Amino acid sequence: MGGGSALAFEPLNLWPMAFVGIAVLMDRVQAAQSWRQAWMRGWVFGAGHFIVGFNWIATAFTYQSNMPPWLGAFAVVLLSLYLAVFPALAAALAWRLARQGAPRERPLAFMCMFAAAWMACEWLRASLFTGLAWNPLGVVWLAVPGVAQAARWIGTYGLSALLVLASGVLWISFRRRWLATTACALLLTLGVVVAGRRAPPPLAPRSAAAISVRIVQPNIGQDEKYDSTQAERHERIYANLSGAPSSQPRLLLWPESASLRFLEVEPQARADLAALLGPHDVLLTGGNSVTFAAAGGADVFHNSVFALDSAGAIQWRYDKAHLVPFGEYLPARSVLEHLGLSRLVPGDGDFIAGLGPRTLPLPGFSGAAGEASVGVQICYEIIFSGRVLDESHRPWFLFNPTNDAWFGSWGPPQHLAQTRLRAIEEGVTVIRAAPNGISAWISPTGRVLDSIAVHRAGVIDGYISPPPPATVFSRMGNWSCGLFGVLLLALGLAARNRTSYLVSA
């Protein structure tokens, strides 16, 4: 059932499987004879869930030559066995809390406590040991019209709790608790209706303050990206797709690591890019930055985004803060290197983390609301709910340059789905630029307004306006999820400790 529940995510999007899988898990955990048995059932479920959902990680090992490709399958299983600890912990906590001092079964108490425990454990999964927030259950709600808008108040982890509650309704219906089923179903439906009706209005027509934007997707695969013999061809593709310079200001957006040259120390590289720009254009491009060390020291590398103007000057640089273990750096390098392991991204040195979310100016672009600005989250950073924007200086939009070329066929659509939730939570437009897909323009409601599919070259043209007001989640962050969790826990305790007609129905 754990493996089947993972089919609810993209690209298969068999979303009813998530509700059935969690309902079966709840039934088995609630029937456990001890918290250890509950833990084991949650762990087995989680192992299947993550092995299926994270199968795309194995594909990444086929794009490097330092380690055998079969190690990818081993990595998926080993990672999944670790991640399964979090569903196991949720199961054990819910079992213990629901049984503590209760003279008999309390299905409604167990539902609420399991939802609260699952939400807390998803947050832990996203936080411990740098965290891995990929595929929270709440992503499944994107397939159900209107429900995902609740992320504006309770965030992604709150959506996950709602999915557990909805699965609980299915579970208690199997147990023929008809009055409880009806009451819970009505409450959840009411919440869905309120979330849908309180969603932000459609985008207003383009205002005079809007700025022109072009997203470029060159369709350069991971197997050819670092091929030096194709470097000139790749540069021509970027140049052709970027279009001829114009007298009208525009913002060009290129993917992660679009430039393989060190822009800060290679003047000719900056000049070549500046030649593609009109007099008022600005280019945001991914690339690596390097700080050369003194004799005997180690060079410092960052995965960065550069803002380059038509004079070839770098206006600012953003450095990726949430790096991918084994991708951009090798944890415990002194030990693992001796075992024959290495990082997946080419290069000898590890990347160093940047400072985190920042709001950065877009020189030359302004409107009635002041100078235009952008927040940047590079690739994997975008999956961490509540950690993507500098809320003290809210940007006009969020730019997510990414490279999903080595994520197989499952990784890119799953990445896009999580990006859509960031747009809903924060109430801002999110723009993705990928070398071979999926590039996308996402509205503050999470709707994909335009996209370029995988393995295709193309551009997306549009206009960015000042953002709508901040959402509740954007102002409170994951504290709003925490408050929702406390409410669920309080309801669970009340249902456990009080005998009522509804509880015993």
Catalytic residue among 320, 328, 426, 481: 320
320 in active site: yes
Percent of the chain with pLDDT over 90: 57
**Is the Cβ–Cβ distance between 137 and 122 less than 8 Å?**
yes
Is 112 a known active-site residue? no
Confidence of residue 296 (pLDDT cuts 50, 70, 90): low
d(CA 360, CA 393): 9
- The Cβ of residue 491 has, within 10 Å, a number of other Cβ atoms equal to 17
Residue-by-residue DSSP string for 232-287: HHHHHHHHHHH-S--SS--EEE--TT-B-S-TTT-HHHHHHHHTTS-TT-EEEEEE
Q: What is the pLDDT of residues 73-97, one digit of tens each?
A: 888 999 999 999 999 999 999 999 9
Nearest to 253 by CA among 417, 400, 419: 400
Q: Is a pLDDT exceeding 90 seen at residue 347?
A: no
| DSSP-assigned letter for residue 230 | G
Residue 178 — very low, low, confident or very high, per pLDDT cuts 50/70/90? low
pLDDT (tens digit, 9 = 90+) per residue, 249-266?
899 999 998 988 889 889
Residue 379 appears among annotated catalytic residues: yes
Directed axis angle between helix 16-30 and helix 35-53, to 10°?
Answer: 160
User: What pLDDT, on the 0 to 100 scale, is given for residue 500?
Assistant: 43
Q: Which of 10, 122, 256, 426 is catalytic?
A: 256
pLDDT in tens, 35-85: 999 999 999 999 999 999 999 988 877 776 666 777 888 889 999 999 999
- pLDDT at position 103 is 46
pTM strictly above 0.85 = yes
* Fold classification of 211-467 (topology level): Nitrilase/N-carbamoyl-D-aminoacid amidohydrolase (3.60.110)
Domain boundaries, the chain: 2-200+478-504, 211-467
In this predicted model, which residue has the larger pLDDT, 498 or 155? 155
Catalytic residue, from 112, 121, 184, 379: name it.
379
- How much is the pLDDT for 501? 39
pLDDT of residue 432: 97
Task: Supply the pLDDT for residue 61.
Answer: 77
